[in-house]
Amino acid sequence: MAARGQVDAASPGLERRRMGAEGIETGVLSLGSWHTWERMEHDAAVELAQYAIDRGVTLFDTGNYNSGMHNEGLDADIVLGRVLRETGLPRSSYQVALKLWLWNAREEALRTSFERDLDRVGIDRAEVLAFGHYAQNYPEDYGIVVEDAVVAAAELIAAGLADSWGACNWPVDIMRRADEFAVAEGLPRPQFAQLKYSLARRAIVEGHPYRRLFDDSEISLQASFMFEGGWLADKKSSRPEHENIGWAPGVTETHIVPGIQAHLPRIREVAADFGVSVAQFALAFCFTNPDTSNALLGATRLAQLAENIAAVEFARREGPAIRAAAEEFRIDFGVIDPRSDP
């Protein structure tokens, strides 16, 4: 059994790591559903899911994207559930991470929301409960404090509706507060932090506050947004302008994207020197961080997923050299406060 962030060398296929000291063990790559599965032809989606599971990409991240900041009229969770069932593979062959948004807490109990969302996917439990974004103004705007979320997670785990929990884009002070409350109350601790992390966006994940939390707790990193909406896959120009995939306003549009644009010719050169694509170099970089247990992808094509899987082996083989080559692309250091909202 692999410890947090460590490779289970005995596992066949894709490397497997534990998401947290007591979280699930899964392949180091996982597939998200936001603006992916519902954009694919159904048969192609089923083929991609089968291909992924056969190669050890067994964790699928989804949520109900029809409320709050995600009121987008999407049926990504319903589509994903149908696709997974139509692979014909047993439920034990794949894992589901289900996002639970906190902005409905004033109107509805979190357990009620989670059970309804499980029904939308068509499953009776999820291996992972992943709380959505929590900001400092949640008590005032949504009537929930972070301790309520920890208690709700404990209740869902005790009821057998989830195995472990983590959070998406929580500021480090909120994440630490949740962990310390769980320890004090003897409740299940958070096992992972899903954070934006890339060649260009490193100040929060690699800054002292989160690095200290990773050291002090059971929490591992689930990297997301590794390609910065397509820029670090060197494919941004092919995206229709109306799509909001990877949309992240603020520092992204004022600093990260311009920085990537300026550095992209050099990033291409470095990737070519390694004999890999820009996307493979960008993804492999995330695995040079020992806190990384998993990377969440938005792949929609077999060739894209195969390229991503190959990047894992590239990271294993060339990790120190990749890390050294990436040093010149620390675009957000000195710009983003490591304690800020991810």
Domains and CATH numbers, the chain: 16-329 (3.20.20.100)
Measured CA distances, 54 to 42, 118, 135 (Å): 18, 24, 38
Mean pLDDT, residues 277-306:
97
Q: Which residue has the higher pLDDT, 244 or 287?
A: 287
The separation between CA 113 and the C-alpha centre of its own chain, rounded to angstroms, equals 21
Question: Angle formed by the axes of helices 257-274 and 278-286, to 10°?
Answer: 100
The whole-chain average pLDDT of the chain stands at 90
d(CA 339, CA 342): 8
**Model pTM?**
0.92
**Which pairing describes strands 25-27 and 16-18: parallel, antiparallel, or unpaired?**
antiparallel
The predicted pLDDT at position 250 comes to: 63
The single residue listed with the structure tokens 């589509």 is 79
- With beta carbons less than 8 A apart as the criterion, state whether 24 and 164 touch: yes
CA 203, 207, 213: angle at the middle one, nearest 5?
Answer: 135
CA distances from 307 to 137, 155, 200 (A): 40, 39, 21
Q: What is the pLDDT of residue 71?
A: 59
For position 189, what pLDDT does the model report? 98
Higher pLDDT residue, 253 or 175?
175
- Helix 76-86 and helix 110-121: axis angle, to 10°? 50
Q: What percent of the chain has pLDDT over 70?
A: 90
Alpha-carbon 229 to chain mean position = 14
Predicted confidence (pLDDT) per residue in 67-105, tens digit: 656 656 678 999 999 999 999 999 999 999 999 999 888
Highest mean pLDDT among 64-73, 216-225, 248-257: 216-225
pLDDT at 242: 36
Q: How far apart are CA 256 and CA 51, in angstroms?
A: 33
Exposure class string for 85-114: b at 16+ Cβ within 10 A, else e? eebeeeeeebbbbbbbbbbbbeeeebeebb
Residue 212, C-beta contacts closer than 8 angstroms, at least 6 positions apart: none
How would residue 38 be classed by pLDDT, with cut points 50, 70 and 90?
confident
